[in-house]
Amino acid sequence: MVDKLKKHHLRDWLRKIWPGLPSGVSDLRGALGAAVEDVGRLTVATVLGYLLTVKLLPAPVDLTGALTAMLIVQASLRGSFRAGMVRVVAVLTGISVAMVVATFVGLHWWSLALVVFAALMMARVLRLESGSLEAAISAMLILGSAGAEVAAFTRFANTLIGTAVGILLPLLWPRRVRIPDLTRDLKEISARLSEVFGDTSSHLRQHPMTKDEASRWLRATRHITPLISSATTTLDEAADVQRYNTRQIFNADVVPLVRNGLEAMERSLLSSRNLFRIVETAAPEQRTPDDGYGDYVRPALASVLDGLSRVIKTFADLVESDAIGDAAEAEQRHEAAMVDARAATANLTELMRVDTGQTKLWLLRGTILSAIENILAELDLTAYRVFRDEWRASQLGRALPAGSIGPHIRSPWGQLAQQRLRARAARSRVAHPEGSHQVTWDDTTALMPAAEQPDPPPDDQPA
């Protein structure tokens, strides 16, 4: 137990100094794969920018084209599409300032100061915000390459070639939206929250509750909260990347599905914090058998917390499996975990209904049960299925890693035809409120419910 706690604290300390710490071997493998692809794209852009300047322009040429291509590709690789465009404007701003100064005065200490000042001021005027430093860095790199005896027109042509390479290459070789990248934070949140409930369950099976232990569990849930904002940022960037990505034209947009799972996990985290706050408030300072639960309630509460740990873990697995397109097994595991957790909760409820004769203790047990029910309600399979089926209907014909949702659409014309069918179905529902047929996500035909009509008035009353 002590070794496990030391390992837990060491991992928390490493996450503070290294927020992007891989959580496992698979996470490290995915990060390395993405890094190799991004670095390869940068290398190809740099070499391609240089080769085109050598082939298309008369000698002598410098590395201006290669530098421009590398900087713009780097800008388009980082962050969302909109943020990438901001960085492209920042790079072009810095290059423009450096080109003017390098053409007329060359590289001196005062020209370097002038370039940096002008690039930063233009970035502020254009409100490039996070791209301000990239404008100055781009200007410095271009000014540093001005030592070669290259004509101003040749350097300008180099810049245009590098810009074209930097803009076109990400369109022809775009970033890939990987399912593990989208669900990594969600699984990390679920793993850490599941670990907190597991530790609590193990402690309650052996020892009574104390305030110090409850405070430690509450702090552990608070340390998970920053991952929510990180996951939201990742999904926002992926939404932009997927919208303008030529690789994703025929792929399903899994961002709404993962976002729905993240929101459910966030609400579960808030309920968990409320649960441990309640436990901390009522827990005794010292370890004593009379901790407010009793020997008959404490093991039942440990069973419930152990069930919550399983439910949280299987829910994240279910969301990832649905995003991949193969969720049958994960859905069965989550359903089984929910059944066990609800059975344990029902048993705990019966035990907590025993009259203790203490109003404070009765209120404590009631609030604990309410927090547990909130967590189970957020991760309920029925509510999740409703959203999942609506999402699948909106992605009909698009591809997932494990297959397609319905008949696979393989051309832009098929997508246009699908949009026309959806628009026609919407018009049909308006024109025929008595009911109409539509094709669902699993390629079956279902009768839509008819619009409710008011009851006719009785015969002895006027209409």
182-201: per-residue pLDDT in tens? 898 999 999 999 999 999 99
Among 262-266, 405-409, 450-454, the range scoring the smallest mean pLDDT is 450-454
Residues 120/132, Cβ–Cβ less than 8 Å: yes
Once rounded to an integer, what is the mean pLDDT over residues 262-281? Answer: 91
Once rounded to an integer, what is the mean pLDDT over residues 55-74? Answer: 79
Q: Is the pLDDT of residue 221 over 80?
A: yes
Backbone angles phi, psi at 65, to 5 degrees: -65, -40
Residues of each domain in the chain carrying CATH 1.20.58.220: 179-394
pLDDT range class, residue 251, cuts 50, 70, 90? confident
In one-letter notation, the amino acid at residue 186 is L
Q: Is the pLDDT of residue 256 over 60?
A: yes
Fold for 179-394, please state it. Methane Monooxygenase Hydroxylase; Chain G, domain 1 (1.20.58)
Neighbours of 247 (CB within 10 A): 13
Going by C-alpha positions, the residue among 224, 203, 189 that lies closest to residue 312 is 189
Give per-residue pLDDT as tens, 124-146. Answer: 888 877 677 778 877 887 777 65
Once rounded to an integer, what is the mean pLDDT over residues 425-451? Answer: 53
Once rounded to an integer, what is the mean pLDDT over residues 307-311? Answer: 95
pLDDT range class, residue 450, cuts 50, 70, 90? very low
Specify the pLDDT at position 26. Answer: 61
Going by C-alpha positions, the residue among 349, 350, 347, 315 that lies closest to residue 334 is 315
Residues 375/270, Cβ–Cβ less than 8 Å: no
Residues 107/24, Cβ–Cβ less than 8 Å: no
